[in-house]
Structure 1
Amino acid sequence: MRKTLMQKLNHCLRVGDLPAFRRHFNLQTVYLRGLEIAPVAGLLPSCEGGDDVVAEFLHQNGLRTVGSADIAGWRPLHYAALGGNVEVLRGLLEKRADVNRRTWKDEPMFGFPPWMSALDLAVFLKHQGATRLLLEARAHLNGGFSPAVMLAATRDNADGIRLLCESGAHPLAQNLLGNTTLGCAGGLAAAEAIEELVVQGRPGSLDLSRALFDAATLRGGTAELVHRLIALRADVDFQSNVPRDYKTLGRLVLAAKSWQHRRGRTSALTAIAYHMHGSTPLMQAIRSAQFDGAAALIAAGARLDLCNCRKWTAADFARGQSIPHFLQLGLEGDPQLHFGIAGSEDLKAQSLNPEQVARAGRQLAAYSGTDSVALDSVLSSKTSRPLANLPVHYNFGGSSASVLDSVYGSAIQ
């Protein structure tokens, strides 16, 4: 790994890409996190007066002054925040580096948008010590495209969220488009961040429902997260309302992408925008092929007859997709397949005796085509277990799904 890093750093120097060299050089603490590998201290001999950590930092990064930006729009404080070195950051601040100066160019290779502050970078990269120092220096909590707490949420940085909220950050803040912090955490399956945001912000049903929708839209639509958000009072039949849910800039972006979709310039993003208004979490889970989450939504009682603004139902989103058999049964409203477990607190409190578990297992095997031998570990249970404590997962047609709960409804009848 160290050899690979050296090759990358030398390549950046050979081609004259100093901003890329600085990013990779300072991101070593992130690359090597959890590994017993010492980072590269520098490619240049130490400068005179090597006890000055700021002078050494500037020297090794090819930077001249504390306050000037390079051609990429980044200042020394931004590069120091990448590495999270508290001593260097403190030295730069003592030399009057502006803690609230922001980058003015994006860096898509690393997922950094423009207008990032040193605090944004520190929380994004989970440098908690650097975060504390920058907050003590009165770094602004908002000001870029997204508030700092949202960047922490996208990285599942629960500790960072806690530090920011202790300094006055609003845990349920929105970005310039209108996306919510809780929704971003849901969309990226940031489970620890969601739990911390719930504690800090005490979100209402609308915020939780938007998080459920965003989870199904992006890549957070797992059965576990769906169950958790519904348990927190998310509406399983929530329908997106663009004028209500997005700011003016967000509505303009969605309108532009929807127009592109109608003109035939289709992509995943244009499809989302085109079908956004009126869509439900179930529709989005099927569109994004998160079939375990879709099954969990049906299990929680999601309506199959709701239509979005294009008059599409959940079943319309399944057209042209190879969906698992158990989900097809759910979309067809098969009366024999009871999806009444997930999200029901009364049923979650119940226990199944061994005979009921066996009956559920046989039905699951019959519906899925799975060999019932694969369920032996469950069927051989001799004691009752709480329904919510049966985390059994199987693979159906290449899609991992928590569908054992889907047949428990009939077993306890």
Structure 2
Amino acid sequence: MSQPAPASIHSLETAKPDFGDLFAWIRAGAADRDRGRILPFDVIRRIRESRLGALRLPRASGGFGVSSRELFRVVLDLAAADPNVAHILRNHLSFVDRFALPAGARGAALKWLPDIAAGAIVGLAMTEQGAGKVGGGVSTYVTALTPDGAGFRLNGRKFYSTGALFSDILLVRAAGPDGRNLSVLLPTRRDGVELVDDWDGAGQRLTGSGTTVLHNVRIEADEVLPDEPGSGFGLPYSNTLAQLLVTAIVAGILRNVATDAADLVRSRRDRNFYYSSAERPEDDPLLQEIVGRIGADAWTAETLILAAADAHDALSAARVRGEPDEELAHHAAVLTARAKLVVDELTLRGATRLFDVGGASATQRARNLDRHWRNARTLASHNPATLKAQALGAWELTGTPLPKLGFF
């Protein structure tokens, strides 16, 4: 049963801006942007102006101080409007939870809090091509920071830099002069930073998830954030929130599928399948069953997301109080992994069944309804569901904890 958010968390209804009109505008252009591969710079400008990225930032830092549950309600709404836009913000929202909340805010991260409060967006350049460590573990980076006078120089090449193309601040993961991992925070437009729009996935085509090249970039000493146990990337299960954000975007797609399924049936008016038992499509019990099931699946998916968000709220509250957090972090990881297994399956099934209510005309490129399946399939592929299912089974049977490091 879901637990209420901690009393110290402010209510979303009184704290946040009203995103209704903004999200309606975003949704109205989503299909055309996807079909024409029109990068949503204008949308991100409006997002920046709305200060959506400051929702979880504490009020003391100029943000709205909302709970994880309340944040995920907004993410679900935005993902239903346009999953590309929601995914652009994933690394920003992860950054705020990892580095800008009271339990983790320190050093170089503090420098950027006023900018984030004003609407600035954080992007991430983390992943590098090459073989990962078998069995998991901490990544070692080729991208490196080397001393240069009172500061440093940063050189490297990153892939899958989701959101970086649209961001104001760039978080780069690199190896420090001593070989240990660290984070670097710098303005995205600094000399030597090259953002390449070369992402060519089947879905999520507008997220700017391309290559970041770092050419001898000047880094100041106060822009470096070393990894430390118990904070930032040193937190146990530090990537769980990023995983839940991906799954929440998938759930938002399923809500959109449910809406489009109902709209598609209504749009057919008096034209129904041969041998249908009803003249009007909306009176056809078979079509009613499909639309009803997709709607129920969408509700289930969102309920799972919010249940996992409640676990993240309990974890955040414990960290603010300075209490032991690993058990709570593991619980949040378990609920997040479970949600992925169910939400991915429901969404991919729903995105396919959408065509059962529309027939061949639903496949017209002008409708672009295939974007739902393409986007959901691309997001679901970020981490293998089979590995999560196996890890959950091992935990249930033997008590083996889920992997706490890396992008499990």
* TM-score between the two structures when normalised by the length of structure 2: 0.22
Q: Give the structure with the larger strand fraction.
A: 2
Higher relative contact order (CA 8 A, sep 6+): 2
Structure label with greater radius of gyration: 1
